[in-house]
């Protein structure tokens, strides 16, 4: 693992065996966005610095933290990953510990950090039961910054001295009843791709569009054509979700037809076949419509995150272990993939593993009233933190049990 050795920074709260709920709420109130999370990193380092770990290191190209716990007997290495970053949202949840700095843990990463630290505490006490090594990866930049890939490039999968053979991550979900685990074999989360289009025409006075090449209706026609493309050219059993999320016509005044219009779309896919189809066909569609109206289009289609693919052996382990730990009634398999995307896909592309969901809908919130992740109103039940920690502990103990 490259990067400087970590030191425990000054911090006001007491580290060690404090309440996971208190830790989560501290992290929530100090939410940070992106790859540079100095306050969040300092809290994580403070907590880990109080524990008997073999190594704790900070990242070089981002404010990640990697902690290593070696068992008393040799064996394989597994990775347990927790994401750290928040979203650039003004929180409107109404909780007493709400963030006020324009960033919000609206995807539950504060719970992920606190729950994983709970697992570290538990496993440190169970060192003698571990035949192998646990690497705890605290990762910034999950929300579109590719922090997982950066950590892998910096060597997190080799931090235990040998290449990791399994990896696991749990994501809380605010619309699922608290305490219920969900997962599935194969694609559990979609890949994320970006489509960006710029249309150049001829601008001028809004009273004489026949003398110009107005890019605004061209952009609108392309946007509608994209929806038809997805519904008519894509296999319904290999779904694609294409959402145009930004549109801009660069007019300097209301009576001026702009020379250029741009838009961008989020494109979710579940297979390499769909990515190849879209990368080949979407530019042709955009260029064709633009040219039909006398305009010129520039098009880029790029992969941001690959599909999050769980491997069968590790999913079977998770279902078995969590069923024995919490009861089979609290563990279920998803019928279909979710079309959200996840940075943990980079880990699963390198190492077998499983991504799981843990329900965290507060009891007082009905299913109809629950907000989804990324909403400024979303609420999570941090009473699930002990279950989160116990689940990671159980997975590690099973994967590294002496033979």
For the chain, the average pLDDT equals: 94
pLDDT at 308: 97
Phi, psi of 57 (to 5 degrees): -135, 150
Nearest to 111 by CA among 373, 338, 306, 351: 373
Q: Are residues 106 and 122 in the same domain?
A: yes
Nearest to 261 by CA among 212, 220, 205: 220
- Output the domain CATH number for residue 262: 3.30.70.360
Q: Are residues 213 and 354 in the same domain?
A: no
Cα gap 383→285, rounded to integer Å:
50
Q: Are residues 280 and 269 in the same domain?
A: yes
Q: Are residues 314 and 298 in the same domain?
A: no
Is the distance from CB of 74 to CB of 139 less than 8 angstroms?
no
Nearest to 265 by CA among 248, 277, 287: 248
pLDDT of residue 87 exceeding 70: yes
Q: Is 111 domain-assigned?
A: yes
Q: Where are the alpha helices (DSSP H) in 126-249?
A: 147-153, 215-233
- Confidence band of 17 (pLDDT split at 50, 70, 90): low
Q: Is 13 domain-assigned?
A: no
User: pLDDT tens-digit profile of 343-381?
Assistant: 999 999 999 999 999 999 999 999 999 999 999 999 999
Q: Which of 248, 282, 305 is the last residue of a domain?
A: 305
Q: Which of 238, 273, 305 is the last residue of a domain?
A: 305
Q: Are residues 29 and 176 in the same domain?
A: yes
* DSSP letter, residue 179: T
Nearest to 261 by CA among 204, 216, 203: 216
Which two structure tokens, joined as six digits, stand for 137? 């990866």
pLDDT of residue 14 exceeding 60: no
Q: Is 9 domain-assigned?
A: no
Cα gap 191→153, rounded to integer Å:
20
Q: Is 352 domain-assigned?
A: yes
Q: Are residues 200 and 97 in the same domain?
A: no
pLDDT of residue 221 exceeding 60: yes
Task: Give the range of the structural domain holding residue 86, as residue numbers without chain letter.
Answer: 20-189+307-399
Strand arrangement of the beta sheet that strand 241-249 belongs to: 241-249, 260-269, 191-200, 296-305
pLDDT at 330: 97
Q: Are residues 282 and 324 in the same domain?
A: no
Q: Are residues 344 and 253 in the same domain?
A: no
Q: Are residues 62 and 171 in the same domain?
A: yes
Q: Is 15 domain-assigned?
A: no
Stretch (H or E) spanning 123 = helix 109-125
Q: Which of 254, 281, 305 is the last residue of a domain?
A: 305
Q: Are residues 221 and 284 in the same domain?
A: yes
Q: Is 12 domain-assigned?
A: no
- Confidence band of 288 (pLDDT split at 50, 70, 90): very high
pLDDT at 251: 76
Least confident stretch, 16-20, 149-153, 365-369: 16-20
Strands 55-58 and 65-70: antiparallel
Phi, psi of 50 (to 5 degrees): -85, 0
- State the total domains in the chain: 2
- Confidence band of 168 (pLDDT split at 50, 70, 90): very high
- pTM comes to 0.90
- Confidence band of 7 (pLDDT split at 50, 70, 90): very low
CA angle, 133 then 61 then 50, to 5°: 45
Crossing angle (nearest 10°) for helices 272-292 and 215-233:
150
Cα gap 168→183, rounded to integer Å:
11
Is the distance from CB of 108 to CB of 382 less than 8 angstroms?
no
Q: Are residues 55 and 183 in the same domain?
A: yes
User: pLDDT tens-digit profile of 38-49?
Assistant: 999 999 999 999
Is the distance from CB of 64 to CB of 170 less than 8 angstroms?
no
Q: Are residues 159 and 47 in the same domain?
A: yes
- Output the domain CATH number for residue 132: 3.40.630.10
Is the distance from CB of 46 to CB of 133 less than 8 angstroms?
no
pLDDT of residue 383 exceeding 80: yes
The residues pairing with 70 across neighbouring beta strands, listed in sequence order, are 133
pLDDT of residue 21 exceeding 50: yes
Looking at residues 1-27, what average pLDDT do you find? 60
Which two structure tokens, joined as six digits, stand for 376? 């400024």
Q: Is 219 domain-assigned?
A: yes
pLDDT at 250: 78
pLDDT at 16: 53
Q: Is 361 domain-assigned?
A: yes
Cα gap 177→12, rounded to integer Å:
34
């Amino acid at each position: 693992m490259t990067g400087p050795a970590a030191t425990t920074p000054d911090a006001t709260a007491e580290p060690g065996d404090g309440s996971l709920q208190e830790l989560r709420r501290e992290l929530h109130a100090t939410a940070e966005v992106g790859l540079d999370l100095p306050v969040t990193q300092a809290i994580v380092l403070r907590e880990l610095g109080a524990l008997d770990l073999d190594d704790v290191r900070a990242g070089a190209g981002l404010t990640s933290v990697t902690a290593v716990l070696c068992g008393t007997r040799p064996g394989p290495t597994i990775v347990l990953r927790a994401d750290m970053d928040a979203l650039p949202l003004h929180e409107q949840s109404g909780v007493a510990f709400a963030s006020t700095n324009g960033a919000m843990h609206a995807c539950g990463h504060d719970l992920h950090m606190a729950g994983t630290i709970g697992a570290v505490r538990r496993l440190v006490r169970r060192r003698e039961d571990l035949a192998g090594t646990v690497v705890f990866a605290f990762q910034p930049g999950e929300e579109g910054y590719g922090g997982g890939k950066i950590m892998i490039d910096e060597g997190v999968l080799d931090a235990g001295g040998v290449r990791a053979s399994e990896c696991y991550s749990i994501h809380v979900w605010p619309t699922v009843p608290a305490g219920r685990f969900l997962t599935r074999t194969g694609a559990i989360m979609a890949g994320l791709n970006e489509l960006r289009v710029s249309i150049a025409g001829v601008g001028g006075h809004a009273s004489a569009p026949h003398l110009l090449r107005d890019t605004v209706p061209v952009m609108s026609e392309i946007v509608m054509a994209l929806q038809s493309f997805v519904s008519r050219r894509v296999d319904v059993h290999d779904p694609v979700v294409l959402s145009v999320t930004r549109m801009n016509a660069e007019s300097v005044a209301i009576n001026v037809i702009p020379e250029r219009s741009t838009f961008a779309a989020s494109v979710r896919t579940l297979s390499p076949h769909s990515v190849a189809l879209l990368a080949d066909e979407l530019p042709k569609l955009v260029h064709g419509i633009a040219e039909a109206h006398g305009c010129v289009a520039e098009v880029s289609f790029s992969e941001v995150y690959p599909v999050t693919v769980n491997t069968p052996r590790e999913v079977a382990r998770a279902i078995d272990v969590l069923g024995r730990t919490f009861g089979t009634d609290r563990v279920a398999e998803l019928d279909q993939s979710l079309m959200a995307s996840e940075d943990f896909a980079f880990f699963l592309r390198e190492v077998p593993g499983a991504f799981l969901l843990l329900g965290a809908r507060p009891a007082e919130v009905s299913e109809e009233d629950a907000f989804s992740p990324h909403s400024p109103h979303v609420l999570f039940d941090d009473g699930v933190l002990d279950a989160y920690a116990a689940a990671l502990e159980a997975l590690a103990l099973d994967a590294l049990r002496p033979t």
